[in-house]
Amino acid sequence: MKPVVIAIPETGNSPYQKYLKRKYVRSLQRADAAARWIDLTDPESAVKEALDSDGLLLAGGADIDPALYGRQRTQKCGKPDPVRDLAEPMILKAFFNTGKPILGICRGMQMVNVCFGGTLTQDIRKMQQEKHFDILRKNYGSHLVKLDSHSQLAAVLDRDVASVNSLHHQAVDRVGAGLRAVARSEDGFVEALEIADYGFGIAVQWHPEHMPQDKTQQNLIAAFVQNCII
């Protein structure tokens, strides 16, 4: 059987970024899939290379430039990654037009929302009641999310409440057109989105690749890969 190949737009090659990239690679390997890191230097070439893959994974990383969703950058917004901000919307649109499976993680979920016309809250730290950036517990659940029981995500995770890790200081504000908010934290922030009327289009605010010991979270990666075969 032809191996399943997942396109992941390049996230960088600093020592820490390489460590994070290995987490994605290994989570896909556990689901019998391989990662293809897409160089973004030439966005048009990046789109063509990505489309030769079976699925698209949009990974975590830097804050998105607020100009992409019509806002001025505030002091609390981190430094954007202009290369990713230019290329990822092009790749996402191309994948959406093919109907191939899409999985967004953390920044990846926020990028999905922005590309569908949604907006982001640039810093939630004064608004949060729970701890949404907990690097010391990145391998374990740090808070609960309530899932829409009628969502594809709830079916994949086989539960209505899930324990998730949390590594973000921004969050979805207005949900983009054509998307459904299908999970929320107990203090009200959107924790997952689904693309309506789409085969497999799920995006989560947490990092399942950091929780391999949690079968529930690995099920999400496995379901994504399985839908790339169908």
In whole angstroms, what separates CA 183 from the centre of its chain?
Answer: 14
- 143 as an active site residue: the answer is no
- 115 as an active site residue: the answer is no
Question: What is d(CA 186, CA 46) in angstroms, rounded to the nearest whole number?
Answer: 38
| Residue 119 · residue 74 · CB < 8 Å | no
Residue that has been written with the tokens 């997942």 in this structure: 6
| Residue 139 · residue 210 · CB < 8 Å | yes
Q: Per the residue annotation, which of 106, 115, 132, 194 is the catalytic one? A: 106
- 228 as an active site residue: the answer is no
Q: Per the residue annotation, which of 132, 143, 168, 207 is the catalytic one? A: 207
| Residue 172 · residue 184 · CB < 8 Å | no
37, amino acid identity: W
DSSP3 helix / strand / coil % (the chain, rounded to 5): 35, 25, 40
Parallel, antiparallel or unpaired: strands 171-172 and 143-147: unpaired
Side-chain-facing half-sphere of 110: CA atoms under 13 Å: 30
| Residue 192 · residue 202 · CB < 8 Å | yes
Cα distances (Å, whole numbers) of residue 215 to 110, 151, 158, 194, 225: 25, 19, 11, 21, 15
DSSP category for residue 96: H
Q: Per the residue annotation, which of 168, 191, 209, 210 is the catalytic one? A: 209
Give the active site residues. 106, 207, 209
